[in-house]
Amino acid sequence: MSVEVHQRVNYWYLQFKTGISRSTQILYCLVFVTRYLDLLDKTQAFYLVFFKITYIVTSIIVLAVFYKLDSTYERQKDTCSLAAILVPCSISAVLLAETYQAVDILWTFSQFCEGFAMVPQYVFCYRDRLAKDVGVTFYVLSMGAYRCFYAANWIYKKAPYDIHTTYVVSLMAMPATPADASRDVTVLGLLLRAS
Q: Of the candidates 109, 129, 127, which has an alpha carbon nearest to the alpha carbon of residue 33?
A: 109
| Cβ-count burial 140-163 (b if 16+ within 10 Å, e if not) | beebbeebbebbeebeeebeeeee
What residue type is assigned to position 108 of the chain? T
Mean pLDDT lowest among 7-21, 84-98, 149-163: 7-21
Contacts of 122 (CB under 8 A, 6+ apart): 140, 178, 181, 184, 185, 188
pLDDT value at residue 43? 86
Average pLDDT in the 172-187 region?
A: 48
Mean pLDDT lowest among 60-64, 77-81, 176-180: 176-180
Per residue in 116-139, pLDDT (tens digit) is: 999 999 999 888 877 677 888 888
Provide the pLDDT confidence category of residue 36 given band limits of 50, 70 and 90: very high
| Count of alpha carbons within 13 angstroms of residue 164, beta-carbon side | 8
Q: Of the candidates 88, 150, 119, which has an alpha carbon nearest to the alpha carbon of residue 24?
A: 119
Q: Are 120 and 80 in contact (CB under 8 A)?
A: yes
pLDDT value at residue 185? 42
C-alpha–C-alpha distance, residues 125 and 134, integer Å: 12
What residue type is assigned to position 177 of the chain? T
Q: What percent of the chain has pLDDT over 90?
A: 42
